[in-house]
Structure 1
Amino acid sequence: MSTVSDVLQNDAFEAHPERRLLTTSDGVRIDSVLRRGARTRTTAVVLANGFTGTWRSADTKMIAGRMLAVGDAMTFDFRGHHDSTGECTVGDREVHDLEAVVAHLRTLGYTDIATVGFSMGAAVVIRHAAMFGGVRAVASVSGPSRWYYRGTSRMRLLHFGLETQVGRFFLRHARRVRVVDRHWDPVPPDPTESAVGVAPAALLVMHGAADTYFPVEHARRMYEAAAEPKDLWVEQGMGHAEHAMTPERADRLAAWIGRRFAAAREGGADQG
């Protein structure tokens, strides 16, 4: 049986990025990139970045490359980020961005799709699975368990950026992120409330023990709220989101997704 590393040597670096502009159900244009492996297949992995993240980053490109071991990889920029239109709502309307990507993959013939989210994107993939379904596996990496968390200095600084005029000015001009200047109405269910709705898709909650944004208690709370099948990985020495992913961690994540794809094809519920 081929290992993830074997497949990467033979397949991942055959990928040819294809830029695609998608339209959400509420009319936002989403800038995305599809990376295909050398073989034609029906499995795909979607990566949903954290706040201010982009498919252009070296971290995201590395993770997408490792995902090619188990499926073609699609990355995209959430609304309000870089060349995607609209304004970022920091986890609310972004579920429609992800659904536009997943729906597009289905039109291309992909039948087994996994979603992987980082930080804000982690909250989005959980809410998306609960609202829309239709994915085989969901991985939440460095995600919050509830909204409005301010328990760390980094999250207090982030809220300053979101809630003040000067903070939004900085985000627009320094990070190319346009943030909505109004409060949620209504407030969407928090990730813990949504976690139970991920099933029957498998859920992986992956969190760094050294995360300086959200303590590990967020991961444990979300894992406890979710239904089976589910897994919890607390990674020693790991920081926050896509920037804390190493090739080795990405390979383990790809292998987990591969097992879930195989379990779905066999009609089983592999808990590995």
Structure 2
Amino acid sequence: MSLRLSTVILPYRRWHEGSRASWERAEELGFHAGYTYDHLSWRSFRDGPWFGAVPTLTAAACVTERMRLGTLVTSPNFRHPVTLAKELISLDDISRGRITLGIGAGGTGFDATVLGQEPWTPRERADRFAEFIGMLDRLLTEDSVSYEGDHYAAHEARNIPGCVQQPRLPFAVAATGPRGMRLAARYGQAWVTTGDPKLYEHGTPEQSVQALRRQTERLADACAEIGRDAAALEKILLTGFTPDRNRPLESLDAFVDFAGRHAELGFTEIVLHWPIPDSDFAVDQKVFERIATEAAAQLP
């Protein structure tokens, strides 16, 4: 399976003041997929413009034709499975079957308290995520769903005609812990990681590679528990959060070296942040575009 390159475009600009152009250019450059964050605000961008993921992806679907589209990642922090399923079915229809749902348990940032709730503990997030993804799987594959759980409920929720992609649009499950890995093995068509967050500040690239190797081994173990071949799951690395940070994007050679080391771990897709000046994702646009157009020929 050849290594694919994708990009994630943060929704920090007005559609007609640069955002649309980035999505169109991403497709021109040949990226496999274009993703966006599904947050209500995020870190250093909190006090500036920030737009919603679903409307942004809807607009992107209307100005692209080939590139897959999706979230990295959606979480239960401010979503409900019933309303999310309806939006996803609509997105899948508008894009003619090009949507991938990146989905995870969510973190402890602004989204975790924006609706007025207390932050959930790690156990509560894991419990909610397990129920959330299981319910969403049903909502996207069954015409009518009634359900009463510990955290979510639905009464005759109808989702006709269902997804363009059958039996449903693919899930890319973000996970690093045992429970999340089991959910990825059960429900995922892909698995997503950003590496080991404990290594971001003081770790080394070599330590990061070893941590990612251990993660892929845990995923394989989770798949083996249910008799699933781990090779059947796409393995996605969202870059920018390993100790390498932006160094792999400083040159074509640097990226090819980085991508090759991670392809050896079994990763099938590497996602690069679209350059944002004066931010953690500030890289040279020309180098970024050269990587997008030339790196694939030098990768496995």
Larger gyration radius, structure 1 or structure 2: 2
TM-score normalised per structure 1: 0.38
